[in-house]
Chains A and B, each alone.
Chain A
């Protein structure tokens, strides 16, 4: 909850609703990237150790634990070999939430883009915690405003929700600087759910900008999943009266007959989406468009499809 008069991001959702929605993801949120954690979980660890999954045989060397000796193989081949197993680990996931003013917009969507992104983050957190994964939170605008380290304890959900609701809107976005800075703060290896409208990523409209950003994060061993949050008004541009369009981040207003520019605007937007998706694929990241006009559950299912 907000402690002062600064407008803050509101989740607008009860915990039981989150848990109910998290049921949709139960047992289905398989993140394909190889991540490293400090608890046993559903995800493969690059280290071999105690696990149910057989990895390979290796010749016995003195000092090896005799319990790993494969006696059946010795009986067949008269050789001492040791069984090795793929070690499983838990997931370290970070919800990176854009809290810039451009997310504080509700057109014809169900709620503000920021709230929608927060709800998505909360549901994902809930689902991952139930899978004993460690979940952290990063809120950013022009700079990183909130950082919660990844934890897999049950109370982590409450921490995350409270942090989200206490985060004020930031007047501007500086995604590049922020995300580069984030790369150095994160512990090695994990998954980043980047929930943003990504308008800042297009500021210079130079190709490969997003790929460069993801590449720097990936160097730290992180898998990036971009949840592109857009309002239906941004996707469809349903205006038809002469309007004075004003930006949310201090852009100059512009008077336009929407009927005249609609086609060109939609072309621009679609091109941007396509380039984002293309760049994401190029660097092995995932891209999922989330319209705030859709029900949250539908978007979660869509996310699952993206992750397959």
Chain B
């Protein structure tokens, strides 16, 4: 049994309080004349013994009360000795049988236990592993799991020197190791050993990692003993059997303690236009994995080494919470940077970090992000129904929805409005245009159709919003190759035979997996569902290739559809973008829908912050055939591979690329060559995308205590902790408090009994 607050054990001295109080309060007996002395003497003779016993009992109860209070305050902990290796003896004795050590290389092992001596969990684990190897006589293996899971030897070996030297070279990784993989590898190694032989698998990891019920060994291995070493308990490495050449830190006796850690577990970065130009909002989720509260813990936003904003976080023990930080960050548009090998041109970006004040595990107290300058998306809006009154104009609502003060710094849309009343566009007018919008255009010409086709083949976007002036036949004839579905004609809401209520149709079926609806957590509960549709365009029920229905009306007709045409994308609404047929445009959620439509149709395919966790892959869409490279913060390059069809969405499959496994924490870039920039003499590359790699924060939780309000509670990690509840250390302070309560009750009963007896006899 250990104590979390051993100083409180001094409180045990308080058990002297009741006898001292008793002695201090001892009164002089008051002389009292009384005639019935014989009865009194007889009563005294009968009760004296019982009375003395009761008084001693009361005194003992009161002393115990103080003792239990002191015990409760010192927070006793009890943990079953899972491993006989740590039974408290000075040396392990001769370990028999086969030993397999699972050695955790996760970033959490870098936890600084002793600041003065610079001792880390990793050092303790290594020392312990060396000690096990020194004490064991049979074959052994060391399996490390961090960035990758591997064995230090090909198979089980009796050459412990080889394993020891391998252990000495180990370093902490930035990843979160896969224990199940390591265990599978251990079972694989043990498969060749005789079934009757004693086998032991020892886990050296952080206290939150342990074997669970799924870890049980396969029956063909015979009896395998799984044990975990709690590195935070008593460890004595003063054994003389250790390799003297190894510079091991001298570890003193250490009581088990809870490893306190704080971590940033998530970051959502978005623009905050309501606060002004170039304003950003960082929503940071912070978890306090510590038995102590976080009081006014400093947090700040750093951009290119400059602190932009500071804040404070206050959290209860084992609680996670959200902290919002607003800051202003402006990034210029053009820049050029050179590396040793290539010249890289790109839109400029700035590297930023959200940082928490350091704790013993600093690596998880930071989270990287990019602030990127974005080229404005050019939207050529062909207005088929211009009006002199502004709010009646076809583009009035769209222009306001895509205004810079609404979108903020994250996205800029440049709208070029042209009347489309017959005259064709010149090819020059389409240069640099990302999206063409046909807003209630009556008769698109064949020339326009040809221009749109080449625009789409170049990867541009087409936004179709037919309305009252649209000539159905002309649209079908001219734009038939791009339409998600051929148009049938206008329909008034309520005309469908299946609908009883007349007059208004509503949006009620949403493909929530589609990226167009990404801004909405639940579109059914958004204001989109409240929009009243009086008229809409009826489409042919037969879908065209590579088209998808994103939103449907309650009358069953599609309202919003997309289609992939060559490299380009088409989005089609079943009505105009003014209030003539519906009031969708005045609904607040039209703004994110319009913004997301622009992002979807533009080349800014992925949008927002791209991020992944260390060791995980990242899928992203890139225009072109590659090759593309991922550039790590340390300047390492890694080629990107094509994502398979199963890994990407159907309408994205031609542009899907995969960063197979992110190995470095921080700011990464995707480099690639484009046709325009290819030169013969000098290799020129564009930075096509940027992404950040963060830690797998599962490793930050160093104890098994669940964190409140954490979204991670329902993940696999928590399930593991539930199944392993029996093995985790138990806090006994509540038992001590229970004892305290029982003692108080007992004293109450004794005193009450006394009073009741007096009352009855009176």
Contacts and interface: CB of A to CB of B under 8 A. Distances in A.
B42 to A, nearest CB: 5
A245 B37 contact: yes
B368 to A, nearest CB: 74
B254 interface: no
Interface string A234-278: 101001011111111101011111011111111111001000000
Interface stretch (B25-33, B151-159, B316-324): B25-33
A263 B27 CA distance: 22
Nearest to A257: B51
Given A263-B761, A266-B761, A267-B761, A242 B29 contact: yes
B34 A245 contact: yes
B757 A268 contact: no
Contacts of A251: 37-38, 41
B29 to A, nearest CB: 4
Contact of B38 (A107, A113, A199, A246): A199
A197 B27 contact: no
Contacts of B761: 262-263, 266-267
B43 interface: yes
Contacts of A163: none
Given A242-B27, A244-B29, A265 B35 contact: no
A259 to B, nearest CB: 7
A272 B44 contact: no
Given A242-B27, A266-B761, A272-B39, A261 B47 contact: yes
A203 interface: yes
Interface in B733-762: 754, 757-758, 760-762
Contacts of B36: 197, 199, 234, 265, 269
A261 to B, nearest CB: 5
A233 B34 CA distance: 9
Contacts of A244: 29-32
A257 B47 CA distance: 11
B426 interface: no
Contacts of A259: 754, 758
A108 to B, nearest CB: 12
Contacts of A256: 40, 44
A222 B292 CA distance: 91
B46 interface: yes
B601 to A, nearest CB: 92
A236 B758 CA distance: 10
Contact of B758 (A233, A234, A249, A263): A263
Contacts of B758: 259, 262-263
Given A242-B27, A268-B39, A261 B44 contact: yes
A249 B709 CA distance: 80
A302 to B, nearest CB: 21
Contact of B44 (A199, A202, A254): A254
Interface string A60-83: 000000000000000000000000
A255 B29 contact: yes
A141 B37 CA distance: 18
A246 B33 CA distance: 5
A202 B42 CA distance: 12
Contacts of A255: 29
A202 B32 contact: no
A143 interface: no
A182 B754 CA distance: 47
A248 B692 CA distance: 100
A275 to B, nearest CB: 12
Given A257-B51, A260-B51, A261-B51, A243 B32 contact: yes
Given A242-B30, A244-B30, A254-B44, A263 B35 contact: no
Nearest to A251: B37
B617 to A, nearest CB: 80
A242 B39 CA distance: 17
A269 B34 CA distance: 13
B588 to A, nearest CB: 77
Contacts of B760: 263
Interface of A: 102-103, 105, 107, 113, 197, 199, 202-203, 231, 233-234, 236, 239, 241-249, 251, 253-257, 259-269, 272
14 contacts: A199-B38, A233-B34, A234-B35, A241-B30, A247-B35, A248-B33, A254-B37, A254-B41, A256-B44, A261-B43, A264-B43, A264-B47, A265-B36, A267-B761
Given A199-B38, A242-B27, 7 more contacts: A103-B35, A113-B35, A247-B37, A248-B33, A259-B758, A260-B51, A262-B758
What are the nearest 7 A-B pairs in CB distance?
Answer: A264-B43, A247-B37, A265-B43, A260-B51, A243-B32, A102-B35, A244-B29
